[in-house]
Amino acid sequence: MWRDALVVAGKDLRIEGRAKVALNQVGPYALVVLLLFGFAFDEDRPLLVQAAPGLFWVAVLFSAVLAVQRSFSLETSDGAIDGLRLSRLEPAGIFLGKVAAVALQLLVLQALLVMGVVVLFHSRLSGGALLALTALASTVGLATAGVVYAAVSMSLRARETLLPLLLAPVLAPIVLAATEAWRSALRLSNADGWRWVGLLACFAAIYAAGGTLCFGTLMEEQ
Amino acid sequence: MDLAVRLRSAVVLAGHYPLLAGADLDVDAGEILVVRGPNGAGKTSLLRALAGLLPLSAGEATVLGLDPSANARQLRPLIGLLGHRNGLYEDLDALQNVRFAAAAARRPRPEAGEALERLGLSGRTICLPVGTLSAGQRRRVALANLLVRQPRLWLLDEPHAGLDVEHRVLLDDLLAEACQAGATVVLASHEERDWGPLAPREVAMSGGTVIDGLLGPVPSIAPSEVPSVA
């Protein structure tokens, strides 16, 4: 399973290395979203600082939807999904490989967006460990849930518009929990940020386990 | 001789519409069988059902001695399917595509280069993104993907589409070699050509059923539906 995951992740990352869709399209899109938030709240600078974690995670949510959609359009655009289904790759390995590739792209994107938040919103970074672990747990949650729902929607007509509709409510808890954890790390609230990280880790573990077990069945529904 | 494929009264439904409406088919192991018929006759559905990608709603299927539904995990790696689409990753180059197919089939990586070379692809061409190649070159990369998997059953849907004369002959040679090595080939086509030298037996499809043993031109193919031969 792990070898298969490496094969699939390597393929997806090699494609990204060539096409640079995340770098040249998703990244700039997320930065533009941050910029627009900045314009919208520019009159009220303290409010912008307070809202920065939420705005950051909303931008990450939008990017995650695009990254997951892209990950599956690679498989469906020329019928490569049939090759995967006929291969010796274990479905769980395919799932974990897709998750790893999406998660890695999201982590790079978040590093870019953190710089955007500091520059555009004048946020001061603090609580490094809490920030980093929140980002990691949230990213795994976004990627696992995103890949599961992308597989569900793969056979549906109008999946390009349906997937964001399916994903938004499912990923909302991640955005809320990650926002609260970051607010705590940035000393914008007195809540215990580590409790939110625990919740994020549970969410990620549940979707990782569910996806690993069910991905074969989801691929059969094409 | 053992049967590689045995279908009896196979029915495949898309909603309430029958893609296969009681198809019966026998294919001997090591045989090359051409399935002919007009657009919409059910050729593609037949191939996908044999690969286990379309479940039967009724009837029986045995492919390489296995039930395509119940034994999908064991059967599928033994099958090479080339559909209308090539199943390639357009941003990867030809070599990367075939290397991935080799890795997914647990075959050694060096076989990827050999497979491409066998299909007449080498040098700079195999380092270009597949999306920049011609339709015929992409088809050959897709065939290299199949070759590297070394399937026991080749299911080919219009495999000659887009190939020039030289590479059509090359493909025929490749299929003949695969059969000599023990593989079985089921090839769907609506091309008007003499299949005799490649495939001793042809069957026709119409309305989701197989008309076994029908030889010669298939009736009711409108000229506009016959693809031009490159």
Per-residue pLDDT of B68-123, as tens digits, reads: 888 888 899 899 999 889 999 999 999 999 999 999 988 877 788 888 999 888 88
Q: Please name the residue of chain B whose CA is at the shortest distance from the CA of residue A13.
A: B92
Rounded-to-integer distance, Cα B167 and Cα B159, Å: 11
Measured at the CA of A163, the angle between CA A159 and CA A164, to 5 degrees, comes to 135
CB–CB contact A14 B51 (8 Å): no
Rg (CA), chain A: 18
Give A169 to chain B, closest Cα distance, Å.
30
- Tell whether A15 is within 8 A of chain B (Cβ): yes
CB–CB contact B89 A85 (8 Å): no
CB–CB contact A79 B85 (8 Å): yes
Rounded-to-integer distance, Cα A12 and Cα A16, Å: 6
**What's the pLDDT score for residue B98?**
94
Q: What is the largest CA-CA distance in chain A?
A: 58
Give B88 to chain A, closest Cα distance, Å.
6
**Which residue bears the tokens 């075939």?**
B98
Which among B90, B105, B106 is the nearest to A78, CB-wise? Answer: B90
- Tell whether A82 is within 8 A of chain B (Cβ): yes
- Tell whether A74 is within 8 A of chain B (Cβ): yes
More confident residue, A61 or A48: A61
Q: Are A27 and A67 in contact (CB under 8 A)?
A: no
**What's the pLDDT score for residue B218?**
45
Which among B84, B100, B104 is the nearest to A88, CB-wise? Answer: B104
**What's the pLDDT score for residue A123?**
80
What ipTM score was computed for the predicted complex, to two decimals? 0.83
Question: Rounded to an integer, what is the distance from CA B144 to the centroid of its chain?
Answer: 13
| Chain B interface disruption, residue of A25, A78, A222, most B CBs within 10 A | A78
Rounded-to-integer distance, Cα B108 and Cα B18, Å: 41
Q: Are B38 and B19 in contact (CB under 8 A)?
A: no
Q: Are B56 and B12 in contact (CB under 8 A)?
A: yes
Which among B81, B84, B88 is the nearest to A86, CB-wise? Answer: B81
Q: Beta partners for B13?
A: B18
Interface A–B counts its CB contacts (< 8 A) at: 64
Task: Give A88's contacts in chain B (Cβ within 8 Å).
Answer: 77, 104-106
Rounded-to-integer distance, Cα A203 and Cα A141, Å: 6
* Phi, psi dihedral angles at B159 (to 5 degrees): -70, -20
| Alpha-carbon distances of B94 from A94, A142, B80, B99, B145, rounded to whole Å | 21, 32, 18, 9, 9
**What's the pLDDT score for residue A62?**
92
Residue A222: pLDDT band (50, 70, 90) is low
Rounded-to-integer distance, Cα B47 and Cα B70, Å: 17
Per-residue pLDDT of A25-52, as tens digits, reads: 888 998 998 888 888 877 777 888 888 8
**What's the pLDDT score for residue B1?**
56
Instruction: For CA atoms B71, B10, B139, B166, give the dihedral sign.
Output: positive
Q: CB neighbours of B230 closer than 8 A, spacing ≥ 6?
A: B136, B162, B163, B164, B165, B168
- Across B191-209, average pLDDT: 82
**What's the pLDDT score for residue A60?**
94
Task: Give A85's contacts in chain B (Cβ within 8 Å).
Answer: 53, 76
Q: Are B83 and B115 in contact (CB under 8 A)?
A: no
- Across B192-201, average pLDDT: 79
**What's the pLDDT score for residue B219?**
46
**What's the pLDDT score for residue B220?**
47
Give percent above pLDDT 90 in chain A: 52
- Across B157-173, average pLDDT: 88
Q: Are A123 and A117 in contact (CB under 8 A)?
A: yes
Residue A197: pLDDT band (50, 70, 90) is very high
Tokens of B174: 């490749």
Average pLDDT value for chain B: 85
- Across A6-14, average pLDDT: 93
Task: Give B90's contacts in chain A (Cβ within 8 Å).
Answer: 77-78
Q: CB neighbours of B83 closer than 8 A, spacing ≥ 6?
A: A79, A82, B44, B47, B48, B157
- For B196, the 3-state DSSP assignment is coil
Q: How many residues does chain A have?
A: 222
Rounded-to-integer distance, Cα A201 and Cα A158, Å: 32
Question: Rounded to an integer, what is the distance from CA B57 to the centroid of its chain?
Answer: 23
Rounded-to-integer distance, Cα A11 and Cα B79, Å: 22
Q: Please name the residue of chain B whose CA is at the shortest distance from the CA of residue A72.
A: B89
Rounded-to-integer distance, Cα A6 and Cα A23, Å: 22
Rounded-to-integer distance, Cα B35 and Cα B85, Å: 18
Task: Give A86's contacts in chain B (Cβ within 8 Å).
Answer: 51, 53, 76-77, 79-81
Tokens of B193: 């050509």
Closest CA to B200 of B182, B218, B176, B178: B176
Task: Give B76's contacts in chain A (Cβ within 8 Å).
Answer: 85-87
The secondary element (H helix, E strand) that includes residue B9 is strand B3-14
Rounded-to-integer distance, Cα B210 and Cα A212, Å: 40
**What's the pLDDT score for residue B217?**
45
Per-position DSSP letters for A48-97, written without gaps between them: HHHHHHHHHHHHHHHHHHHHHHHHHHHHHTTSHHHHHHTSS--HHHHHHH
- Tell whether A30 is within 8 A of chain B (Cβ): no
Q: pTM value?
A: 0.86
**What's the pLDDT score for residue A153?**
84
Average pLDDT value for chain A: 89
Per-residue pLDDT of B208-230, as tens digits, reads: 888 864 433 444 444 444 444 33
Per-residue pLDDT of A101-138, as tens digits, reads: 999 999 999 999 999 888 888 888 888 899 999 999 99
| Alpha-carbon distances of A64 from A37, A71, A112, A116, A193, rounded to whole Å | 18, 10, 14, 17, 23
**What's the pLDDT score for residue B230?**
36
Task: Give B87's contacts in chain A (Cβ within 8 Å).
Answer: 78-80, 82-83
**What's the pLDDT score for residue B215?**
38
